[in-house]
Amino acid sequence: MVEEIKKEVDQSEEIEEQAAEQEKESPTIEDFELAEIETLREEIDLLQGQSNEYLDGWQRERAEFANYKKRKERESQQLQHNIIGNITRKYLEIVDDLERALQNQPEDGEGASWAEGIELVYRKFLTALEAEGVVAMQAEGQLFDPNLHEAISQEPSEEFESGQVIEVLRSGYMIGERVLRPASVRIAQ
């Protein structure tokens, strides 16, 4: 019996040793928690990378859309100026005729009241053009600029410097920053 008890004690010790070895080899709850935390960290890093990528893409698309809107607005404004310019060019000849009529207006009698009416029509015409963004250039006394002026003649002058506009023969007009019609001018030599 003692031997049987010894055997049983030996067996129980052996079982305890095997259990201790299995406990050492098998992961603990802490090991599972650490592994899960590491997995979650990797997943967070992956999701943050995707989030940054999506944010960058969204910001790029937003900037492209803003540029698209600005470009379309500029094109629309340019188209509007072109349309107004094309129509206005036809009426500038009428303005020229009114200016010529006013240069030779009579001072008294029925002709004077008629000339006042012509002048009123002329001013209304200029006001309507200005409302559309069309303005007359101020060329007299300015230095000649081939982008703004069309030189008809060069004349010697003691009053003006060389290259300076002496007289405007036909007014020039601009719409915004664009020359609608250059001013026809005489310039000093």
| pTM for the full predicted model | 0.59
C-beta separation of 107 from 118 below 8 A = no
pLDDT at 173: 92
Buried b (16+ CB within 10 A) or exposed e, 80-110: ebeebbeebeeebeebeebeeeeeeeeeeee
**Cα(85)–Cα(134) distance, integer angstroms:** 8
Encode 54-69 in three state secondary structure: HHHHHHHHHHHHHHHH
User: Token digits for 84?
Assistant: 């107004």
pLDDT at 50: 95
pLDDT averaged per 10 residues in sequence order, the chain, 189 residues = 72 74 65 86 94 95 96 92 86 89 80 84 91 89 90 88 89 88 91
**Cα(11)–Cα(22) distance, integer angstroms:** 16
Residue 154, beta-bridge partner list:
187
- For 104-152, where are the alpha helices, taking DSSP H only? 110-131
The set of residues, in sequence order, having a beta carbon less than 8 Å from that of 156 and lying 6+ positions away, is 188, 189
pLDDT at 27: 61
Residue 28 has phi, psi (to 5 degrees) of -90, 175
CATH superfamily of 136-189: Head domain of nucleotide exchange factor GrpE (2.30.22.10)
pLDDT at 185: 93
pLDDT at 160: 87
Nearest alpha-carbon partner for 175 in 87, 96, 99, 97 = 87
pLDDT at 40: 93
**Cα(71)–Cα(94) distance, integer angstroms:** 35
